[in-house]
Amino acid sequence: MDRLSAAARLMIVSDLDHTMVDHHDAENLSLLRFNALWEAHYRRDSLLVFSTGRSPTLYKQLRKEKPMLTPDITIMSVGTEITYGDAMVPDNGWVEVLNQKWDKKIVTEEASRFPELKLQSETEQRPHKVSFYVDKDKAQTVTQKLSEIFKNRGLDVKIIYSGGMDLDILPQGAGKGQALAYLLRKFKCEGKVPTNTLVCGDSGNDAELFSIPEVYGVMVSNAQEELLQWHAANAKNNPKLTHATERCAAGIIQAIGHFKLGPSTSPRDIKDESDGEVKSIDLGHEVVKLYLFYERWRRAEIDNSEIYLSSLKANCCPSGFCVPPSGGEISLAEAINQFRKCYGDKQGKQFRVWVDRVLSTEIGPGTWLVKFHKWELSGEERACSIVSIIVRIKVI
């Protein structure tokens, strides 16, 4: 919340499974395309929010499995938990809101009387969420009966059915939409309401996100029937909502362009940087381009040409050096020369490189310190390096 001194240019609030993350995309190409777009053009002045039904345990597991960026805010457990930053600092004010007319013991006790409900794993049972599995043909009847029982017990709860099998019982004030509304109220109190907000989802538990006034919304092309039915019944004529023709993260990129919210061409979709006109220097974009070149060089997706290496050297300070994780110092020129040895060594193999948390700080006139995390995926192995670069910009 405090990373930006002014209002965010864009805030993206996205579900994870089958929205940001495509479990049918073995190469994670659409997610990597989004990552490159975000770090190149949005990280410096925008906010990324993940809103997931997953518990903290399963969310952290997903981050180990997929090349996901670090969000500024994480909403988990179907909107019952809000945390900030990589350290995932909890929002205690949200906890106080959810405690009203909520008694987890009574909820669990009453729901356990229904043989149609199968309790989900212990990791999915959270302080303000009780989760079950239920067959699709029994979900509506069970939901209606439970709602009446809880009302008679003096509880104010919400029951959400999604994914064709998941039934979550939450406080009435909880949910993905309510959590987003709470965040927007906090931004308003601070005078930092995002200029534009784009919400993204694929299933029934995302419907609340699309109900928030003044936000743009995208249902990815693979959205489930329950969300499409909600849209047809409640928001069919809303011009701020769109149904993408592309899956998952590719659909999010498509929506950015559809609503004209900012740049919507991922650097991964640009094969020759000379084709585009350079209007200004963007440090995030330069970092993304550098490591895309590194990936493509090792995958032999570009020509083994001295022109590329000469161009890299021309942009380096003659006395510049780098310090690898192993220690010691190597001149930048020598480091670039070593690129010759690794050309094509990952050709035909699973090898991807992406950067995360690219942040720059001006430390002097025309001089910037750029810090970020650089990730490499090679086969089943993932490695992360924390990188710092000093950049001097010369106006010619």
Question: Of all helices (H) and strands (E), which one includes residue 11?
Answer: strand 10-14
pLDDT at residue 280, rounded to an integer: 60
- What was the pLDDT predicted at 239? 96
pLDDT at 1: 61
pLDDT at residue 71 above 90?
Answer: yes
pLDDT value for 278: 45
- What is d(CA 382, CA 67) in angstroms, rounded to the nearest whole number? 9
What's the pLDDT tens digit per position in 108-139? Answer: 999 999 999 999 999 999 999 999 999 999 99
* Residue 231 one-letter amino acid: H
Q: How does residue 393 score in pLDDT terms, banded at 50, 70 and 90?
A: confident
327-368 per-position pLDDT tens digit? 889 999 999 999 999 999 999 999 999 999 999 999 999 899
What is the structure's pLDDT at 27? 95
CATH top-level class of 2-90+175-267: alpha beta
Q: What is the pLDDT of residue 277?
A: 44
Comparing C-alpha atoms, which of 179, 251, 246, 172 is closest to residue 216? Answer: 251
Q: How confident is the model over 302-313, as pLDDT tens digits?
A: 999 999 999 999
pLDDT band at 276 (very low <50, low <70, confident <90, very high): very low
Cα–Cα distances (Å) from 4 to 9, 92, 174, 276, in that order, read 10, 21, 26, 29
Helix intervals (H) in the chain: 29-41, 56-65, 92-98, 104-111, 136-152, 176-189, 207-210, 225-234, 248-258, 283-298, 306-314, 332-337
**Secondary structure (DSSP) of 19-54:** TTB-TT-TT-HHHHHHHHHHHHHTTTT-EEEEE-SS
pLDDT digits (tens, 9 = 90+) for 216-247: 999 999 999 999 999 999 999 999 999 999 99
For the chain, how far is it from start to end, CA to CA, in angstroms? 37
Helices 248-258, 29-41: inter-axial angle, 10-degree rounding: 40
Q: Band the pLDDT of 164: cuts 50, 70, 90.
A: confident
The pLDDT of residue 273: 58
User: What are the residues whose beta carbons fall under 8 Å from the beta carbon of 30, sequence distance 6 or more?
Assistant: 22, 246, 247, 248, 249, 250, 253
Query: What number is the average pLDDT over the span 79-98?
Result: 96
Q: Which fold has domain 101-171?
A: Hypothetical Protein Ta0175; Chain: A, domain 2 (3.90.1070)
Q: What is the mean pLDDT of the chain?
A: 94
CA angle 323, 327, 330 (to 5 degrees): 45
* Rounded distance between C-alpha atoms, residue 89 and residue 369, angstroms: 26
Does the domain formed by 274-392 have CATH 3.10.450.50? yes
Q: So where are the chain's domains?
A: 2-90+175-267, 101-171, 274-392
With a CB cutoff of 8 Å and minimum separation 6, the contacts of 276 are: 270
Do residues 91 and 1 make contact, with C-beta atoms less than 8 angstroms apart? no
**Pair 111, 153: CB distance under 8 Å:** no
Give pLDDT tens digits for 10-27.
999 999 999 999 999 999
CA distance 143 to 281: 55
Cβ contact 40:288 at 8 Å: yes
**pLDDT digit string, tens, across residues 145-162:** 999 999 999 999 999 998
Q: What percent of the chain has pLDDT over 90?
A: 87
